[in-house]
Structure 1
Amino acid sequence: MPLLLQLTLIIVVAFLSHGHESIAQYVPSYTSAVVPVNKHNDAVIPLYSAAITATYINTQTLKANFLIDIDAPFNWHDCILQWNIYPDGCPANTPCTYPVSCEEYVCTDVRTTHTYENPTCPPVTNDSTLPGWGYCTCPVTVVDPVMGSCGQALLDYDEFIMKTSNGRNVFTSTYSVYPNAACAPSWSFESFPTNVSGVMALSTSPHALPAYLFQPIKRSIALCLPSTVSAPGVLFFGTGPYYLLPQSDLDVTSLLSYTPLIKHPDSFGYFIGVNAIVIKKRSIDVLGNASTKLSTIDPYTTLRTDIYKWVIRRFSMVTKRIPPSKSIAPFGLCFSTFSNVSLKVPDIDFSLQDGKKWSISTANSIKQVTNDVSCLAFVDGGATTELPIVIGTFQFEDNFLVFDLENSSFGFSSSLLRKHTSCANFNFTLISSH
């Protein structure tokens, strides 16, 4: 082989090797996507939303607030479908998206397998088309998570945009996901908090938002609900690290315990196994089905009547020095308190199937209802309820929670207040990524 050709081949091989090595060594500066979480007290129950950017088809963007629902099968929001949209073709302040045809597989899949389960909802039909398109659209059933009422929306191809993060800072660079969502009319959101115009599905459904995450972000979500309306909490898509001020050198993942997620038939939600509720060393066993549901819609933990009665009895005994008060619905045990005086009560521990313990401290067990009355924030779910326990959002606040779909596990921190931080302490100041 001529010397010149040999040298040329050596240079080419060296160049290619260096290129492959550079690609292999490339590590993105972000590990997650991040959005702020807001608490709302202006609906019939306290609710929480995530602020996310939805795109117009004509490349403009609009930020909207989506109700967080870890049980919903797919995302849906206030938008309209348009076909062949040209610049300025989309109405002002209205997200416009491309339609899914009723003839496409995804339409059948969402309707028949990954939809809302509600026998009272009427069936959907394929009787609508878009002007200038000529194909049938794909109506799907949606259920208002606040009121439980049925509605219809049109399945679409959507795009949601989030900021990236390394768990400590928020970068100016963005991360986009392209879910099949659905467009619902504006009146569908009348029961929602003010300025909340969508539902963000964070369930295990293949059409919920976590299913559309792609490398380098993994299928895991970390949720930290704020206890106040004055400052946002945080929602991460992807694995840690996660840092909260003022302890910017402490990765919150070091505070987490993990327990397996349990699959439940006919539900895309999240369930864990609770064997007992322990109050000051006295155990109240959960007989029969130990599957406990986690909910971002139910405001307080709901207990089956037989469990609830024992919890009330035991908690009354360990707090007998606190003056009782007439109960205020929906609570069954209340105490007389004075303004600016907070109660200190024993922890309520969920004893989990794998031996772990999730401690519910005073901040997550006692609700200040009026200036003079505080109540145990657990409610009676009835004697015939399917599930013995549903853990609600009051018990989530200022707890760091991880739903790891990759490993089918649930991570929990117990109250961050004991670590001198809270869900409102993530630094949302933007910086440039490298």
Structure 2
Amino acid sequence: MATPLFFVFFTFSLLSFPFLSLQTAFIAPIHKDHNSGLYSISVHLKTPLRPANLHLDLGGAFSWIDCYNHYNSSSYRLVKCNSPLSDSFNHGVCGSCIQAPTPICANDTIFSYVYPEKPSIRDEYVDYLNAKLTDSENVVTDVLALSTTDGSRSGSLRRISNMPFACVKTNFLRGLARNVIGLAALGRANESIPLTISAKFNSPRIFAICLSGTRLGSGVAFIGSKGPYAFSPNVDLSKSLIYTPLLFNPQSGSIYTNWLPSYEYYIGLSAIRINNEAVRFNTSLLQFEPVHGRGGAKISTSTTYALLQSSIYRAFAMAFMKEAAMLNFTLANAVEPFGVCFEGSSVEMTAAGPRAPVVYLEMEKGKVVWKLGGRNSMVRIKKLGVDLWCLGYVNGGEFPRTPIVIGGLQMEDHLLQFDLEKYRFGFSSSALLQGTSCSKFNFSSSDNFL
């Protein structure tokens, strides 16, 4: 029987233009603010669309945006009480307002007591008897637009309707990077940006980030894609991913949802080595405490440098200095927030960063190892006649909620995948050792729409 002409044309189209068949995978640039050390994701919001930068929060459950500073959009909608979206919130009440309808005022709309929250709150000790509560705010939905991708380049912008955001007042942005107007939540909650997109487009519940520390180019976030994650010159970092299970902290760090599991990402860190030197510390600190959720090792884009509980930090710093002495590093007076610094002239540079002792983060009793070289362990301080290389791991105090927080510096130029279908965390070896970097994704397409 003759093959229908339409089928031949359709098949030829998919083969000739495979990019058209992958419209549910999205990307967005990630920028580093070098003053704060924090990261933001670049998106388009509202109608008409406007470019916007949102603070990148890996552990956030719900995105939020400044609705008080001239919020103009023809597509925003207030979330009504008892609607399916409002019913998905873990805690909220209905409120009323007698002013003219705006994103911050309307009758019969849900006010959120769970959100908004700043990322720093999750790392603080919560005094449940005298907790400082944030104001309740309306929840709105509006248009979000991201570029589609085939994994190697950016494509056309695609609008994503009804993306939920909590409103915040303008002063809520204090402490975040310059020019951000809100927060992009990438946590495990169904209302986070990755899981909302996956539900709308029936795409994989998987996203990946590749943070860049250079001022010359941005990093990238992949949403709804298992890969490829291709960087110039044709290096697919998905091929070098190593996986370990994601762990669940049984208690959220939020005063509002402390009875629920955390939305943040924890890994089963079991040991740390610096070269062949074991860092000796009380590993029971990493066990989750069932009442308040203390313990564990988490990954955070809202922490510039790794934070280590004081006893862990002291052991880590001593082991690092011992190995650094074998490389003839010269100790110098430390500058805040660092506890250990070396003379810049004593540290040799390589194409992959400073030649420094290698940090090995061990999981699954050493079966899985994340290797971090000098690029991810040391920070250059060069100003006002000072030239130092400082250890990019900071003393997090005696009683932090999370004993080990892996920060942005440790993640830079590693492709990190968060697979919420198989509940696993994937990490690549350093992109610099593979002849590329997180700043070498092709963002050359125009802003045409699908």
Structure (1 or 2) with the larger CA radius of gyration: 1
Name structure 2 gaps, 5 residues minimum. Answer: 123-131, 253-261, 288-295
Instruction: Determine the structure 1 residue equivalent to 2:95.
Output: 126
Name structure 1 gaps, 5 residues minimum. Answer: 1-9, 82-90, 116-123
2:76 match: secondary structure: strand
Instruction: Determine the structure 1 residue equivalent to 2:379.
Output: 367
Residue-by-residue CA offset, 1:274-321 (whole Å, 9 max, x unaligned)? 110011212225511253100010111111222211111111111112
* Two-structure CA RMSD over aligned residues (Å): 3.2
**Displacement after TM superposition at 1:96 (Å):** 5.8
Alpha-carbon distance in 2 for matches of 1:197, 1:433:
24
Structure 1 pair 383–193 and aligned structure 2 pair: CA distance change class (3 A): closer
Paired residue for 1:179, among 145, 151, 163? 163
Residue-by-residue CA offset, 1:46-78 (whole Å, 9 max, x unaligned)? 11111111122xxx2111111100111111112
What are the residue-to-residue correspondences of 1:291-370 with 2, within 5 Å?
A: 291-320=296-325, 321-338=328-345, 342=349, 343-353=354-364, 355-370=367-382
Amino acid at match of 1:283: A
Structure 1 pair 327–280 and aligned structure 2 pair: CA distance change class (3 A): same
Paired residue for 1:287, among 271, 283, 286? 283
**Displacement after TM superposition at 1:368 (Å):** 0.9
**Displacement after TM superposition at 1:415 (Å):** 1.9
Q: TM-score w.r.t. structure 1 length?
A: 0.82
Alpha-carbon distance in 1 for matches of 2:85, 2:157:
31
Instruction: Determine the structure 1 residue equivalent to 2:129.
Output: none
Structure 1 pair 92–328 and aligned structure 2 pair: CA distance change class (3 A): closer
Instruction: Determine the structure 1 residue equivalent to 2:111.
Output: 139
Alpha-carbon distance in 2 for matches of 1:176, 1:154:
20
Alpha-carbon distance in 1 for matches of 2:156, 2:88:
36
Residue-by-residue CA offset, 1:351-381 (whole Å, 9 max, x unaligned)? 0126110011101101112342111111112
Alpha-carbon distance in 2 for matches of 1:95, 1:151:
26
Structure 1 pair 128–339 and aligned structure 2 pair: CA distance change class (3 A): farther
Amino acid at match of 1:298: T
Moved over 6 A (4+): 431-434
2:279 match: secondary structure: strand
Structure 1 pair 406–369 and aligned structure 2 pair: CA distance change class (3 A): same
Structure 1 pair 174–328 and aligned structure 2 pair: CA distance change class (3 A): same
**Displacement after TM superposition at 1:413 (Å):** 1.2
Paired residue for 2:81, among 86, 102, 105? 102
Paired residue for 1:76, among 64, 85, 96? 64
2:231 match: secondary structure: coil
Q: TM-score w.r.t. structure 2 length?
A: 0.79
Is 1:156 aligned to residue 143 of structure 2? Answer: no
Q: 2:94–2:109: 8 Å Cα contact kept in structure 1?
A: no
Q: 2:68–2:170: 8 Å Cα contact kept in structure 1?
A: no
1:174 match: secondary structure: strand
Paired residue for 2:439, among 418, 424, 429? 424
Amino acid at match of 1:314: A
Q: 2:185–2:193: 8 Å Cα contact kept in structure 1?
A: yes
What are the residue-to-residue correspondences of 1:220-239 with 2, within 5 Å?
A: 220-237=206-223, 238-239=225-226
Alpha-carbon distance in 1 for matches of 2:440, 2:28:
13
Alpha-carbon distance in 2 for matches of 1:172, 1:143:
33
Q: 1:164–1:175: 8 Å Cα contact kept in structure 2?
A: no
Percent identity among equivalent residues?
27
Alpha-carbon distance in 1 for matches of 2:189, 2:84:
16
Instruction: Determine the structure 2 residue equivalent to 1:37.
Output: 30
